[in-house]
């Protein structure tokens, strides 16, 4: 990933924040047929391994779990806040007419080595933890015990667990850090007026760092 220093996310907590808040990752693998990409929700555990561990599951019908040998290198991409930035939002544009459109975004690349777990106990644990996390805000959270055991057992047989030991984390937050303060604030205000609150908040937090 092209990563100018002023866009690099250096703090581990900031990297972890994106993985926790945007858990749908793009698993990129290299197979005999070429590159493959699968969109999967992951659980991130920062305490397992030097850089953390990702766990998830794929459909048994998905050939990716058979195409990846244990220990194979993989990449998982997590996309955070993102959105279009119009030059009309920059005060300097109206003074000089020397600005162009761009796209702001935050992203984390998790490099690691994959292990396939074709056993129901592992899959059950993954599903239970993912469910617990994403049902937490529901008035009456769904749990596997809400369904008949034989139904859950059948569903678990239709998936295969995967685990990725992270070997490298790199993050990029392109949030107008290379713009002058009035232009950054103008873009933030315009985003808020248009409902782009998540990207506006990310850009606001970036103001605590000096622009370059």
Q: What confidence tens digit (pLDDT) does each residue in 125-164 have? A: 999 999 999 999 999 999 999 999 999 999 999 999 999 9
| pTM of the complete model | 0.92
Q: What confidence tens digit (pLDDT) does each residue in 48-60 have? A: 999 999 999 999 9
In whole angstroms, what is the distance from residue 116 CA to residue 184 CA? Answer: 45
Is residue 34 included in any domain, yes or no?
Answer: yes
Is residue 33 included in any domain, yes or no?
Answer: yes
Is residue 202 included in any domain, yes or no?
Answer: no
Residue 93: pLDDT band with limits 50, 70, 90: confident
Q: Which residue is listed with tokens 């699968």?
A: 38
Is residue 184 included in any domain, yes or no?
Answer: no
**What's the number of domains the chain is made of?**
1
Is residue 206 included in any domain, yes or no?
Answer: no
Q: What confidence tens digit (pLDDT) does each residue in 153-212 have? A: 999 999 999 999 999 999 999 999 999 999 999 999 999 999 999 999 999 998 876 444
Is residue 139 included in any domain, yes or no?
Answer: yes
* Residue from 177, 191, 180 nearest 6 by CA: 177
For residue 74, what are its two tokens?
A: 């993989």
Domain CATH for 69: 2.30.110.10
Which range of residues forms the domain containing residue 148? 5-82+103-177
Is residue 198 included in any domain, yes or no?
Answer: no
Is residue 197 included in any domain, yes or no?
Answer: no
């Amino acid at each position: 990933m092209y990563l100018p220093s002023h866009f690099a996310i250096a703090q581990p907590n900031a990297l972890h924040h994106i993985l926790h808040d945007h858990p749908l990752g793009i698993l990129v693998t290299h197979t005999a047929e070429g590159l493959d990409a699968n969109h999967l929700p992951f659980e991130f555990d920062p305490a397992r391994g030097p850089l953390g561990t990702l766990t998830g599951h794929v459909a048994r019908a998905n050939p990716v779990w058979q195409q990846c040998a244990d220990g194979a290198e993989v990449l998982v991409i997590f996309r955070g806040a993102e959105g279009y930035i119009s030059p009309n939002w920059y005060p300097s544009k109206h003074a000089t007419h020397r600005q162009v459109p761009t796209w702001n975004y935050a992203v984390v690349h998790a490099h690691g080595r994959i292990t396939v777990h074709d056993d129901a106990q592992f899959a059950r644990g993954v599903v239970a933890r993912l469910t617990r996390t994403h049902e937490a805000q529901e008035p009456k959270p769904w749990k596997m015990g809400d369904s008949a055991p034989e139904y859950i057992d059948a569903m678990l047989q239709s998936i295969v667990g995967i685990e990725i030991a992270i070997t490298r984390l790199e993050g990029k937050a392109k949030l107008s850090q290379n713009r002058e303060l009035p232009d950054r604030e103008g873009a933030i205000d315009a985003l808020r007026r248009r409902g782009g609150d998540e990207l506006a908040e990310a850009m606001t937090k970036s103001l605590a760092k000096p622009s370059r």
